Amino acid sequence: MLRAAYLFATLLAGANGFSTTTGHAVRTLPRQALTVRQPALAAVRATPATIKMTETEAAAPAPVPSTFEKVSNVFSTLFPLWTALVAILGVYVPSSFAWIPTSAFTALLGILMLSMGITLSLDDFRRVAQKPGVMGVGFAGCYIFMPLLALALSKALALSPALTAGMVLVGSINGGQASNLCTYIARGDVALSVMMTTVTTLGAIVMTPLISQVLLGALVPVDALGVAFSTIQVVLLPIIVGMTMNAKFPKSVKKVEPFSPIVGVLSTCVLVGSAVAQCSAPILAAGFRLQAAAALLHIIAGAACYLGLKKVYNETTCRTVAIETSMKSSAFGFLLAKLHFAEFTVRVVPAVSVVWMALVGSSLAVLFRFLPVPKEE
């Protein structure tokens, strides 16, 4: 058998003009020898066993997720439930979150963005930069569609002037950082989400005071340097650190990546609970019409963007823009209302919006997670 194998290898090497003994090119064997051996060679190449092996490899099942990955997926899927429980706890037992200082907000948001940054690469942002039209649509949704929708809902539900001012203020602030986590859970475009959050946050320096002045006749000063510094500190730096870790230590990042959703969900829940606890009294005092207006603002925004863009953009882009538009930085709106509006009632709206923004955003994320994405994407 060994001799037969050697002769077969010699014939095959000779057919290709290569010597098995010297390693140099040689003359090919006579055509007669090749003719005798070709049927046998063809039979070897086309045996049923070979075909069966190829089909088995092509139909190989996807890698089975680990137990931890399964737990992570279930935990992320229950994101709306955790948000609701934390919001209820913050409203009715505000002391449960009293231990969280305001300074911890920056650290928690930074951790949230870092958990997203390790899932991204520079190529993701290069790809997003090639689609400036999508960024423009997101910016228009944040600073044109949302303020007008807030004003329309306030008029339709006959809210008081102070509550209307609060609604317009919520509609004219930047996108929230938790939208990046929701986009990740929804299997959307995380790089696009991060870019949109960054652009709308920087845009708040000009757009929020301008919209408040145009629609309300009220001048809302915004600390431009403070907003810019916070954006760099909370959004850009953690993302850059996460991307650098992903580029330099890909194997290590791959091992900790399943922790990202859990870290993001926990960070968001603590942020929601703390923000709600600080204004639990106004939330409890809010009437049904205000609750309806705040809920509809976020629900309609998400649904309108997703359905309205279906014929223009692909599935992942529609999901991302819908989540980005519906989720606002309501905590920032509460701070602006507290600092720049004399009427106490104005700040009640962003306080209520904190809860509905988190509930709607997390619900959209879980809903999208179970909707299939076309294979071509």
Question: What is the DSSP track for 4-71?
Answer: HHHHHHHHHHHHTTB-TTT-SB-PPPPHHHHHHHHHHHHHHHT-HHHHHHHHHHHTPPPPPPPHHHHH
Q: What is the pLDDT of residue 32?
A: 44
Q: Name the strand (E) or helix (H) holding 192.
A: helix 190-216
Q: Name the strand (E) or helix (H) holding 104.
A: helix 104-117
Residue 215: closest CA among 160, 175, 172:
172
The CATH number assigned to the domain holding 106 equals: 1.20.1530.20
Q: Does residue 288 fall inside a structural domain? A: yes
Q: In angstroms, rounded to a whole number, what is the distance separating the alpha carbons of residues 150 and 29?
A: 85
Q: Does residue 19 fall inside a structural domain? A: no
For the cut 60, the answer to whether the pLDDT of residue 6 exceeds it is no
Q: Does residue 58 fall inside a structural domain? A: no
Q: Does residue 10 fall inside a structural domain? A: no
Q: Does residue 88 fall inside a structural domain? A: yes
Q: Does residue 206 fall inside a structural domain? A: yes
Average pLDDT, stretch 270-299? Answer: 86
Burial category of 69 from C-beta neighbours within 10 Å (exposed 0-12, middle 13-18, buried 19 and up): middle
| Residue bearing the bigger pLDDT, 64 or 2 | 64
**pLDDT above 70 coverage of the chain, percent:** 78
Q: Does residue 297 fall inside a structural domain? A: yes
The per-residue pLDDT for range 295-342, each reduced to its tens digit, is 999 999 999 999 999 999 999 999 999 999 999 988 778 777 877 787
Q: What is the pTM of this model?
A: 0.71
Average pLDDT, stretch 234-243? Answer: 83
* DSSP string across 319-366: HHHHHHHH-B-HHHHHHHHHHH-S-GGGGHHHHHHHHHHHHHHHHHHH
Tokens coding 247: 């580029």
Q: In angstroms, rounded to a whole number, what is the distance separating the alpha carbons of residues 251 and 242?
A: 14
Q: What is the pLDDT of residue 129?
A: 82
Q: Does residue 4 fall inside a structural domain? A: no
Instruction: Please report which confidence band the pLDDT of residue 363 belongs to, taking 50, 70 and 90 as the band edges.
Output: very high
Whole domain around residue 332: which residue ranges? 75-369
Q: What is the pLDDT of residue 276?
A: 81
The per-residue pLDDT for range 160-197, each reduced to its tens digit, is 888 999 999 999 988 887 888 899 889 999 889 988 98
Q: In angstroms, rounded to a whole number, what is the distance separating the alpha carbons of residues 183 and 266?
A: 16
Counting the structural domains of the chain, the total is 1
Average pLDDT, stretch 75-88? Answer: 88
